[in-house]
Amino acid sequence: MAQLWGGRFTKETDRLAYQFNASINFDKRFFAQDIEGSIAHAAMLKEQGILTEEEKEAITEGLTGIRRDVEEGRLVITEEYEDIHSFVEANLIDRIGDAGKKLHTGRSRNDQVALDMRLYVRQELLEIDGCLKDLLETLITLMEENLDTYMPGFTHMQKAQPTTLAHHLGAYFEMFKRDRLRMKDIYARMNYCPLGAGALAGTTYPLDRSITASLLGFAGPTLNSMDSVSDRDYLIEFLSALSTVMMHLSRFSEEIITWNSNEYRFVEIDDAYSTGSSIMPQKKNPDIAELTRGKTGRVYGALVSILTTMKGIPLAYNKDMQEDKELTFDAIDTVKNCLILFNGMVKTMRFNKAVMEKSAVNGFTNATDAADYLVGKGVPFRDAHGIIGRLVLYCIEKNTSIDSLSLEELKNVSPVFEEDIFDAVSLKTCVEKRLTLGAPGMEAMKEVIRVNREYLKEEWHS
């Protein structure tokens, strides 16, 4: 058992206890971050006169070699080591001798793992932000292509008013745009370096924490050493943001599953993102959407788990905090995979525009506009509401739509109706006259797309 402690112990740790305590099986994931932090720490120690130039160079060369050998498969991270820190340090000492024993000067595994986790999460956050941006690019392209693709808008899962596919997709664009804003906010708050905090109370060595922070791309060092080693707020925020991403994907997935059903037939999912049945040859199942919807609970579970873990922990570091890693790693992997696959599914999905438009017509989505037409003719709105309600009931009994009625039939319900009613309740008219910013009208949507195209040109990180 390769471990970084033992002098005060008189016998070895029980094998089962050692395995229960060890984290190497999961924290090996950030071996590159551990080495990156160690190289920066060595450079700072040299600047402060704690290491010689020769020692710093030997350490840097040794660490670089370990990283290269792991990446190229010549060096395997095994369960012989308690954690990634002991793996790196033991292999460094084997390679360069006593100089390697000086690397840990002025730091603890407490601030070391706090650094590794921040470096890892920071990079993964940027990758997820990139996945979100890719999805936004797909959505805005579909919006541009479907400005006049008419469909029903829903409330309470009931057809309510006519809208366009561009407008509907635009709602999800805003959701995922907010998700990116959350990533930006989290990055800014977490981007401070805990290295140099030591176990909890700093160190007596003359470290310059600003040097390390700068070398690692942080905005600066953290300002309280106890908080530095015990802070997991950024993980809670990150998992909360990931849960919101998954909630948005799940809502979208639910609609795609509904639209893909035989009853709706609004969309056809590409074969590459569908599966079949082992017994029913006619089936084409929306499994990617269903799995995305299902995996949302998995990410929620990670958030609840870390909140529960952290709720009763006193300052400063406690071993409970080791539980932050596996659930965070799993949530990150889940969200990235869902975003990538969901984007591919949406990008290749075919929309049945004629079916969508017919559904809007047959669903009386123009009923509100018919009432507004009567108001424009001088009928009080409450009376107009009742007239159109009776008209809808008549259409239901006749299995027809408002558009399909004759003028005579309309006049039998209200003599106020004239020939211009047919233009007033056409889907095109109903949609196009809604021109307030954020509405589905053509010009309003073009302005929104213009604003969002400009937004997508911006980068909040380099």
The residue among 460 and 38 whose pLDDT is bigger is 38
Count Cα neighbours of 253 within 13 Å in the Cβ-side half-sphere: 25
Q: Are residues 346 and 369 in the same domain?
A: no
State the DSSP string of 274-311.
Answer: -B--SS-TT--B-HHHHHHHHHHHHHHHHHHHHHHHHT
Query: Residue 75's domain is classified under what CATH number?
Result: 1.10.275.10
The residue among 434 and 6 whose pLDDT is bigger is 434
Handedness of CA 427, 428, 429, 431 (dihedral sign): positive
Asked if 448 and 173 touch (Cβ cutoff 8 Å), the reply is no
List the catalytic residue out of 156, 278, 406, 462.
Answer: 156
Which among 108, 95, 107, 4 is positioned nearest to 58, based on CA atoms?
95
Beta strands in 316-404 (DSSP E): 350-351
The residue among 289 and 279 whose pLDDT is bigger is 289
Confidence of residue 2 (pLDDT cuts 50, 70, 90): low
Is 278 a known active-site residue?
Answer: no
Say if 461 falls within a structural domain: no
Q: Are residues 351 and 385 in the same domain?
A: no
Query: Residue 134's domain is classified under what CATH number?
Result: 1.20.200.10
User: Would you state the pLDDT for residue 27?
Assistant: 92
Q: Are residues 328 and 418 in the same domain?
A: no
Q: Are residues 67 and 178 in the same domain?
A: no
Backbone angles phi, psi at 159, to 5 degrees: -60, 130
Would you say residue 158 has pLDDT above 80? yes
Say if 451 falls within a structural domain: no
User: Would you state the pLDDT for residue 253?
Assistant: 98
Say if 215 falls within a structural domain: no
Would you say residue 461 has pLDDT above 90? no
Q: Are residues 77 and 141 in the same domain?
A: no
Domain boundary (53, 80, 105) is at 105
Average pLDDT over all residues of the chain: 94
Cα-to-chain-centroid distance, residue 19: 33
Say if 204 falls within a structural domain: no
Number of other residues whose CB lies within 10 A of the CB of residue 289: 28
Q: What is the pLDDT of residues 225-264, one digit of tens each?
A: 999 999 999 999 999 999 999 999 999 999 999 999 999 9
Average pLDDT over residues 276-302: 91
User: Would you state the pLDDT for residue 283?
Assistant: 78
Q: Are residues 255 and 284 in the same domain?
A: yes
Average pLDDT over residues 339-344: 98
Would you say residue 4 has pLDDT above 60? no
Which among 78, 250, 262, 255 is positioned nearest to 179, based on CA atoms?
250
Average pLDDT over residues 327-356: 97
User: Would you state the pLDDT for residue 5?
Assistant: 47
Domain that holds residue 52: 15-105
Say if 48 falls within a structural domain: yes
- Among 18-22, 96-100, 105-109, which stretch is predicted with the lowest mean pLDDT? 18-22
Q: Assign residue 106 a region (left: φ > 0; alpha: ψ between -120 and 50; beta: otherwise).
A: left
Q: What is the pLDDT of residues 113-129, one digit of tens each?
A: 999 999 999 999 999 99
Q: Are residues 169 and 255 in the same domain?
A: yes
Q: Are residues 169 and 232 in the same domain?
A: yes
Interatomic CA distance for residues 78 and 70, integer angstroms: 11
Average pLDDT over residues 100-122: 97
Q: Read off the DSSP letter of residue 349.
A: P
Confidence of residue 59 (pLDDT cuts 50, 70, 90): very high
Go through the chain and tell me how many residues it has.
Answer: 462
Handedness of CA 76, 79, 83, 88 (dihedral sign): negative
List the catalytic residue out of 167, 250, 277, 414.
Answer: 277
Say if 69 falls within a structural domain: yes
Q: What is the pTM of this model?
A: 0.92
Interatomic CA distance for residues 46 and 36, integer angstroms: 16
> Which of 119-148 are b and which e, b meaning 16 or more Cβ less than 10 Å from the residue's Cβ?
bbbbebbeebbebbbebbebbbebbeebbb
Q: Are residues 146 and 231 in the same domain?
A: yes
Asked if 98 and 123 touch (Cβ cutoff 8 Å), the reply is no
Would you say residue 280 has pLDDT above 90? no
Would you say residue 13 has pLDDT above 80? no
- Among 17-21, 331-335, 428-432, 440-444, which stretch is predicted with the lowest mean pLDDT? 17-21
Say if 1 falls within a structural domain: no
Query: Residue 436's domain is classified under what CATH number?
Result: 1.10.40.30
Which among 322, 314, 111 is positioned nearest to 201, based on CA atoms?
111
Beta pairing partners, 161: 153
Is 461 a known active-site residue?
Answer: no
Q: Are residues 127 and 237 in the same domain?
A: yes
Would you say residue 21 has pLDDT above 80? no
Domain boundary (105, 121, 142) is at 105
Domain boundary (82, 105, 128) is at 105
Q: Are residues 53 and 139 in the same domain?
A: no
Would you say residue 54 has pLDDT above 70? yes
Query: Where does 146-164 have alpha helices with state H?
Result: none
Share of the chain above pLDDT 90, in %: 90
Say if 5 falls within a structural domain: no
Q: Are residues 124 and 260 in the same domain?
A: yes
Average pLDDT over residues 43-64: 98
- Among 18-27, 68-77, 321-330, which stretch is predicted with the lowest mean pLDDT? 18-27
Would you say residue 217 has pLDDT above 70? yes
Work out how many domains the chain is built from and give that number: 3
Confidence of residue 281 (pLDDT cuts 50, 70, 90): confident
Which among 147, 140, 138 is positioned nearest to 353, based on CA atoms?
147
